[in-house]
Every structure is written in C-alpha cells, then in structure tokens.
Amino acid sequence: MPWQAQAPDGIRVLPVQLPGREERFTEPPHTDAATAVDEVYARLAGKLRDGAPVAVFGHSMGAVLGYELARRLEADPRVRFERLVVSGAPGPWTRRTEQAHTLADDDFMARVRTFAGYTHPALDDPEMRELLLPVLRADVHMHETYLPSSARPLSVPVTSVRGRVDQLVSAVEAAQWSRATTGKLTTPEVAGGHMYLTGSADRLLELIAAELGTTGEAVRR
C-alpha cells in the first residue's frame, strides 16, 4: 500500500491483497497458487482494460503468482500487458530441496528464517505469532507445492531482480527466468539480501520505472 505514494511519475501501483491479510484478515488464506491467481485475476482484470500498459511485479512467492497472473493477462486481448518483473526468485520450475511447510511450528519458523535471512519483529510476540503463523504456513505451502500451469513461455520481456548478497537465490537461479520468456531478460542486482525491498522500496520502484521506460502500471503482490 505505501508504494502507491512512493511510485515515480508515470506509474500507478495497484496493490494485491490476498485473504488472511489486513482487511481480509478473517478470511482463510489460499494454499494453492492456481486458486490465488484465479482470484487476483478476477479482481484486477476489470481495472486494467483502459489501454494503459501493464506490468506485474512479484517478490519471492509473489514471483510465481506474478508469473501465473502474467500468463492470464498476456492471453487477455483487452489488456495491454508489457512486462513481468520478478524479484528474489529462481525460475518458476525450480523447487526447494529443503522444504518447511510440513515441519512443527518451531522448526518451521527456524527454517523460514534461514530461507529468508529475515524475520518480522511481530513474529517475536507470542500472541502476534499465533495470529500470523497460519497465514505464513499457507504461503509457504503454496510456494513449496507450486508447479507451473504450462511449459509455454511468455512473449513479453522479463526483469529478474536480485539482492546482491541474497543467500537464498543465486545469480544463476535469477537468470533461469530466461526460459520463461521468448522476450528479453534483464537481471539487475541491487544492494541487500533476499528481503532487500523492505528497506529500499524507492530504489526498487525507480528500477521498475526504468525497465518500463517510466510509463505503465506496476502491480505488486
């Protein structure tokens, strides 16, 4: 939501809010990527049919959701879809060898911290952790069980952003997105680790604007 006020000129940010978050906190979270993307597409499609160029942005798990959403938008003749921007993610067919979603709570949290190299302070509060854990588990389950819906690549350009010291996603893995498109792939790196964007949204938005030529819409998961 804060990105709406931070966006450079020429970009309108449309945040995507999944169940289990903020105003939708009481709704059960999705555990299946296809179901999540069905809902996101239904909510967004009507807002994107005004002729403005559209891009999709997704970080980590959001990258695979963004990829599936991009497939829907590219096939929609009423949408002027121009670019997919993914961040902190290997190619969509690459799955972690060590998974977390089946672990007991303490082991699950430890594994997630290792994966991300980051933890939100709210998870240190027992009451907040109890509230947030089901959503986090659902997200991890959705990410770890995800399989691409098709082997057919996109035709639009893809930008794969990576934190320069990301210990979870290597530069080689970030470059795997070349197989996800017949268009051009760019692989910019920015300062920071896997969760670099938590403290550098302005810089990321400027990078996205540059990739888009300062026009279009950025859709953030």
In single-letter form, the type of residue at position 169 comes to V
* Measured distance CA(36)–CA(29) in Å, rounded: 9
Cβ-defined contacts of 27-30 (< 8 Å, 24+):
29/134, 29/135, 29/138, 29/139, 30/138, 30/142
Smallest Cα–Cα separation from 217: which of 50, 2, 100? 50
* DSSP line for 150-208: -SPPBSS-EEEEEETT-SSS-HHHHGGGGGGBSS-EE--EESSSTTGGGS-HHHHHHHH
Smallest Cα–Cα separation from 201: which of 70, 5, 23, 61? 5
Q: Is 108 exposed, middle or buried (0-12, 13-18, 19+ CB in 10 A)?
A: middle
Instruction: Say which of 60, 150, 178, 200 is annotated catalytic.
Output: 60
Residue 150: active-site member: no
Contact at 8 Å (CB) between 78 and 52? no
Residues identified as active-site: 60
